[in-house]
Each structure stands twice: as structure tokens, then as C-alpha cells.
Structure 1
Amino acid sequence: MKVTVRESDTFFYYSQLFDIPLALILASNRELDAEQLQPEQQVSIPGYVKHAVKIGPGDSLWRIATQRQLPLDALLLMNPKLDPYHLNAGDSVSIPIRMTKSIIKGNQAYDYQTMIKDINRLSAVYPFIRQQTVGQSVLGKKIPEIQIGQGQKQLHINGAFHAREWITTPVIMTFLNDYLLSLTNRRTLRGLSMAPFYETTTLSIVPMVNVDGVDLVIHGADAAEERKADVLKMNGGQSDFSQWKANIHGVDLNDQFPAGWDIEQQRREQSPGPADYPGAHPLSEPEAKAIAELTKQRDFERVIAFHTQGEEFYWGFEKKEPPEAENIATEFARVSGYKPIQYVDSYAGYKDWFINEWRKPGFTVELGREKNPVPLSQFAEIYQKALGIFLANFYM
């Protein structure tokens, strides 16, 4: 929501008027001079949307403000051209509506366009988040990254490395929305105030790594566009792509990283297909390369890659994980009920590479249970268990 600056208005005044933390308002208006607002400038108020209501016979701004429990000056600010003493029945008044419910509807088939639409909606309501494109897929789709927070502690999470594991994306997006709601409504998540984490932490999120593959699983071969014939051939002529893990090239993106890649290459599939082909060489695929470049550019303290399924997580690699990784793993297990596994006979994954290169904590979290793709009927349970890990990631 935007309001028009009046003479002598300040960001601090807007913070008090709309009960929004000053840091969020400042971050939502990075392009403006925080020390000297100019009349007629437009200021974004995060966490609010505008709503138009019709003026009834005998209505006044005072009555509308009282009925809706709004500060009168908020109505005056939002309706600068309205004469408060001469309202005409049938005219419209803009009122501020605080967002208190989630925009994200995670319990649905969650494809690339749904994610992009939701990111744009969140950015419009919560402009203190930042987004950028970190790379492009084989089919040229932009891979978005979202950043939130102002702290020096850099954390990274991602989802949907594997196409059939797309449920990880709405889980991540639901948490992001809950985090935003907690900040703008000054409410806790599981008893934790989130404002201190916003100030101390910068969270990087890539909700969907394998953007082409997710659309292939959800929409079928037509989603592969000019590569439709290729994916049908790799899938044995079958139109059911529900078990597809790879990208559109038929490469497993979580077998693409230079951390024992040669070991995986020798024992995995030797040609492109729905699953388990590590590619011709490490980081051959644009999606894996995009995540690798992002990681190299940032000083991430910790990374978490969300996968499915098994209700467990992996936290070691060739004894190169730092000592503090065990404490973090213990807490992740406590708050989620998931089983911590230090070592597994697997190489070339994103968390393997992160641990190998930086000797910092990295985690692969397997959400849900039974089989892939995990059914949407598990979504609510998955989210509640994952929420503990999302929150512990901040305070550990």
C-alpha cells in the first residue's frame, strides 16, 4: 500500500500510525531519503493493502474510522483529495487493510507460474523483501532468489532440486509468508519473536531450483516445449512424468556438484533419463551452476536443501563438517521429530559440496514419508514439522 507524503510527515510517524516496525518501513522505501521526505512522494506501507468502501448517507470520516477501528489520520492521509466535511453518498473512500492471513495457498499443485505469481504478490505487500534472478533454466525460465533481513548472519535454503519433490516449494513459500506476517503484525511464531532475527539475519531463499522439471511433472510433456520429443523418449514413451527427478536435459541436479562427482558418475546412470544421471561433467546444467554461483558470491553460514521423503536429514560429509553441525542437527531433530543421519553413501550433492568447500554446516532435509511424490494430503503435517527446522535455523 502506498500513501502520499504530506508536509512534515516522517517515516517514524508512519510507523506509529500504522503500527509497523520502523525498520520494515525504511527497508520498503530504500529509494527515498529517510531523513527528508518530500511532499507528494509515494511511501510504501508494508503489510497493508488499500480497500475502497462506498460512503453511505450521513457517513463521515469520523464514523468510518470509528466503525472500522482505524486512526482518523490514516483515512485523511489515504484520501488527500477528499473534503472530510462534505462527503457525498456513493463516493469511495480508501481504507487501509492490514494483512493478517497468508497469501500462499500451499496445499495445491504448485508449478512455476504459481510460484512467480506468489512472489510478486508478496513483494507488492511486503516490499522490504528483495528478489533477484540468479540464473535461467534450460528452457530459459528465470530462477528467482528472495532475500529477507538486514543482519550479517547469512543463511540459505532451497527446494525442488528434484522435479517430483515440488511440494518442498510451497512448504518454503508458506514459511516465508508466515515470517512476513509475524514481522508486520508483531506476533510470534511458536512463541518466538521474529523481529530480532530480521535484524541479525539475512535469509536467502531459492524456492524452486528445477523450474522446468517441476512443470514437466505437473503438466506433462507439453511443458518441455521444443524438448517434448526428447523427454518422452527418455521417459520410455510414457506420458506420466510423476516420477521424474531430473531437469529437462535428463540430468539429476543434485548429482551435479564437484564433491566426489566422479564416484557418483561411475555408479549412477550413464545416459540422460528421468533420474540419477549426474551429467557429462560437474555443473554442466544451468540450474546447478546458478546455485553454485550464488553460493560462491555469498558468505553463507549455513545451507539447507529441502527434498522428499523419509522424515530424516543428512548433515555430514567425509568428516569435513564442523563441530557445531552436530549441535544444530540435534536441535533440528528435537523440533521436527526427524531422524538425523550423519553419513550416507552419496556424493555430488549440494550440501556435500558446501561442506567440502567451506567446512560449514550443510543439511539435506527429507520432508514427508512413504513415497514420492509425497501426496498433498501430508502438506499440513509436513509444514508443522518443517516449521521447527525453519525457526531453529535462525536461533542456532
Structure 2
Amino acid sequence: MKITVRSGDSLWYYSQLFGVSLQLILDSNRNVNPNTLTPGTDVNIPGFFASGYTIKSGDSFWKLASERNISVDAISILNPSVNPSRLQVGQVIQLPERVVSRIIDGRVNYDSSRFQEDLAAIQEIYPFIRVEQIGRSVLGKPLTEIRIGRGQRKIHYNASFHANEWITTPVLMTFINDYLLALTNYGSIRGVYALPLYDINTLSTVPLVNPDGVDLVLNGPPASVRGEVIEINNGSTNFNNWKANIRGVDLNNQYPANWEIEQARKEQAPAPANFPGEAPLTEPEAIAIAELTGNRQFDQTYALHTQGEVFFWGYEGLEPPLSAELAQYYERLSGYRSVQYVDSHAGYKDWFISVYRRPGFTFELGRGVNPLPISQFDTIYQDMLGVFVGSLYRR
């Protein structure tokens, strides 16, 4: 919600007026000097939107403020040209409305268009988040990082490396929404207050690593590559088994962590799954995540996949001792089974551990056959919620 600065106003006053953390207001207005606020400048108030209201008989600013448990001045500041002593029936004013419930519905087929719509919505309501395009997919769709927080500790989550594991994207987006709600409402998640987490951590997320593949599974092939992907899919127009990007390369077999082992024993040509590519890091989606990781220097990374209710946390003995401690912690929080080693290479988690020697995890959410039905969403989300919060809470 935008308001216009008046003479004598301060960001601290807005924090008190709307009941929002001063730090979140500062971070929502990074281009504004808080020490020299200029009257007439627009300022963002996170966690609110302005709603039109039509004046009825008997209405006053005081009555409307009392009904909504807000200050009269919170109404006045949104209506600078309105004389509160001369309200007229039928007149339209603006009222501040606090956002207290999710704006993201994760219980739907969640393609790249839905992701972009939700991204725009959370940017509008929570302008303290930072959104950065880190690359583009094969078909030119944006690959987007969402960052929340100002802390030195850098935690990264990504989702939908694999196309038919797309349910991981709404799971991650729902946590982002719940975290933002808790931050702007002085709330907690699983008994942990959110605002201290914001100061300790910088949470980096890439909720949709493989937008072309997800759209293929959910919506079918676009005309521009219809012939090629149907040929790769052995003539079938059912893409439920498709894990790869639109070129038939498995993005989680693309990393230089014993890539040659996977290349020798997996598919030798583009396929719906398990083709590691002609070389490591040939695909723009995999490159974007690798470059982001190098640029941000994450302390911990979490890759969300499906399925099996299990998570993996070791690689070739290169993981630090902290990984074992966290694995025990996450077993308790999620109920998922912890596995240290598995005969698999060239994944993002493998590469992160081998290069950075820091904790990296691959979580396999839910049970069944991919793509998992959206009916599993609530169970998966509740299983993972403790992990999401725990990764930000436990140092």
C-alpha cells in the first residue's frame, strides 16, 4: 500500500500508525532516505492494501476507524483531499486493509503463469522482498530468485528441478506466503516468531527451476517445439513421466560432481528423464542455479523433489559434521527418513557439498507416483513446515 508523506511524518511514525515493523518499512523503501523524508514522496507500507469504501449514512472517520481497530490518522493519510467533517453519502474513500490470510492458493495445478501471477501479488503487498531474474529457460521464461531477510546467514531453497515434481513449487510458495504473513503481523510459525528470523537469515528461493518442463507436464507442448518433444516422448502426448527440461535434459544430472558416472550409465540421448546432457552445465536452467550459488555463497541449500518421504544429506564423505546434526533434527521435524549416502551423482546437492563443503539436502516430498496428486498438498506442506522454519531457526 502506498501513502504520501506529509510534513512532520517519519517512517517510525508509520510503523506505529500501522503496526508494522520499522525494519520492514525501511526495507520496503530502499530508495527513500528515512532522515530526509520529503512531503509528497510516496512510501510503501507492507502487509496492507488500500480498499475502496462508499460512505453510508452515519459514517465518520472515527466510526470507520473504531470498527477496524485502526487509527483515524491511518484513514486520513490515505485520503488527503477528503474533509472528514464533510463526508457525503455515496462518496468513495480509501481504507487501509491489513492482509491477514494467504493470497497464494497452492492446491491447484501450478504452472509458470500461476507462479508469475502470485509473484506479482506478493511483490505488491510485501515490497521488502527482493526479486531478481537469474536467467532464462530454454524457451525464454524468466528464472526468478525471491530473497527475504537481511541476515548474514544465507539459506537457499529451490523447487521443480524435475517437471513432473511441480507440486514442490506451490509448497515452497505457500511457505513464502506464510512467512511474509508472520513477518508483517508480528506472528509466529510453529511457535517460532518470524521477525528475529528475518534479522538473522537471508532466505533465497528459486521456486520454479524448470518452467518449460512444468508447463509441458501441466499444459502440453507449445507449438514451437511440439514435434520435437513428442518425438523425445516416444510419440506420446501424455507427459506425466517427463522430468527433464524442454530439450530432454535432466537438470538434476547436470552438475560436475562425478557427472561422467551418470553419463555412462544413463540415457545417451534426449529423453523424458535421466539424460545428463552432452556435458555438465549445458542447460540454461542448471547454469543459472550454479551461478546463483557461486554468487550468493549459501551456507545451506535445500532442493525439493518428490517422492518417498525421505531426504538425502551426504556426498562422498565431503559433508561437514553439521549435516549429521541437522539430519537428525529434520527427521524429528518432518517424520521423513534420513539417508546419508546413495549411489547417485551429478545432482545439485552433490555438487554443492563437493564444491563448498557445506550442508546440502535433497528432500523427496510425499509418496506415490509422480506427478503426485494435489490432494497430497496439505500433508506434504505440514510435513515440511517444520523443516522450513527449522532451517531458519537452528544455526
Normalised by the length of structure 1, the TM-score is 0.99
State the partner residue of 2:106.
106
State the partner residue of 1:316.
314
C-alpha distance in 1, partners of 2:75/2:151?
34
User: What letter is aligned with 2:290?
Assistant: A
User: What letter is aligned with 2:9?
Assistant: D
User: Pairwise mapping of residues 107-186 of structure 1 onto structure 2 (< 5 A)?
Assistant: 107-186=107-186
User: What letter is aligned with 2:340?
Assistant: Q
C-alpha distance in 2, partners of 1:298/1:56?
53
User: What letter is aligned with 1:94?
Assistant: Q
Q: CA deviation at 1:34?
A: 1.1
Asked if 1:18 is matched to 2:38, the reply is no
C-alpha distance in 2, partners of 1:314/1:26?
39
State the partner residue of 1:194.
194
The alignment partner of 2:77 has SS state of helix
Deviations 1:237-288 (A, max 9, x none): 1111011000011000000000010000000000101000000000010000
Select between 269-278 and 69-78 the one with higher mean Cα deviation: 69-78
Q: CA deviation at 1:56?
A: 1.1
User: What letter is aligned with 1:49?
Assistant: F
Select between 30-39 and 160-169 the one with higher mean Cα deviation: 30-39
State the partner residue of 1:270.
268
Deviating above 6 A after TM superposition, structure 1's stretches of 4 or more consecutive aligned residues are none
C-alpha distance in 1, partners of 2:40/2:158?
40
The alignment partner of 1:221 has SS state of coil
C-alpha distance in 2, partners of 1:68/1:332?
41
C-alpha distance in 2, partners of 1:339/1:53?
52
Deviations 1:76-125 (A, max 9, x none): 11110001111111001211110001011000000001001101100000
Q: CA deviation at 1:68?
A: 2.4
Q: CA deviation at 1:332?
A: 0.8
Q: CA deviation at 1:58?
A: 3.2
The alignment partner of 1:133 has SS state of strand
Cα pair 2:162 2:252 within 8 Å, conserved: yes
C-alpha distance in 1, partners of 2:36/2:6?
12
C-alpha distance in 2, partners of 1:332/1:273?
34
Structure 2 residue runs of 5 or longer lacking an equivalent are none
Deviations 1:140-182 (A, max 9, x none): 1110100000000011100000000000000000000000000
Normalised by the length of structure 2, the TM-score is 0.99
User: What letter is aligned with 1:323?
Assistant: P
Asked if 1:246 is matched to 2:254, the reply is no
Question: What percent identity do the matched residue pairs reach?
Answer: 51
C-alpha distance in 2, partners of 1:24/1:40?
21
Q: CA deviation at 1:62?
A: 1.5
C-alpha distance in 1, partners of 2:59/2:377?
46
C-alpha distance in 2, partners of 1:330/1:374?
26
Select between 55-64 and 102-111 the one with higher mean Cα deviation: 55-64
The alignment partner of 1:304 has SS state of strand
Q: CA deviation at 1:227?
A: 1.4
User: Pairwise mapping of residues 291-310 of structure 1 onto structure 2 (< 5 A)?
Assistant: 291-310=289-308
The alignment partner of 2:109 has SS state of coil
User: What letter is aligned with 1:79?
Assistant: N
Deviations 1:12-49 (A, max 9, x none): 00000100000000000001011111101111000001
1:331 alignment partner, one of 329, 332, 338: 329
Select between 376-385 and 60-69 the one with higher mean Cα deviation: 60-69
State the partner residue of 1:50.
50
Cα pair 2:18 2:70 within 8 Å, conserved: no
The alignment partner of 1:16 has SS state of helix
User: What letter is aligned with 1:42?
Assistant: D
User: What letter is aligned with 1:178?
Assistant: D
State the partner residue of 1:73.
73
User: What letter is aligned with 1:192?
Assistant: V
C-alpha distance in 2, partners of 1:313/1:281?
27
C-alpha distance in 2, partners of 1:20/1:95?
16
User: What letter is aligned with 1:18?
Assistant: F
Structure 1 residue runs of 5 or longer lacking an equivalent are none
The alignment partner of 2:7 has SS state of coil
User: What letter is aligned with 2:249?
Assistant: V
C-alpha distance in 2, partners of 1:337/1:202?
26
Deviations 1:222-241 (A, max 9, x none): 3xx41110000011111110
Total equivalences in the alignment? 394
C-alpha distance in 1, partners of 2:210/2:57?
56
C-alpha distance in 1, partners of 2:20/2:170?
27
User: What letter is aligned with 1:101?
Assistant: S
Say what the alpha-carbon RMSD is for the aligned residues.
Answer: 0.7
Q: CA deviation at 1:57?
A: 2.2
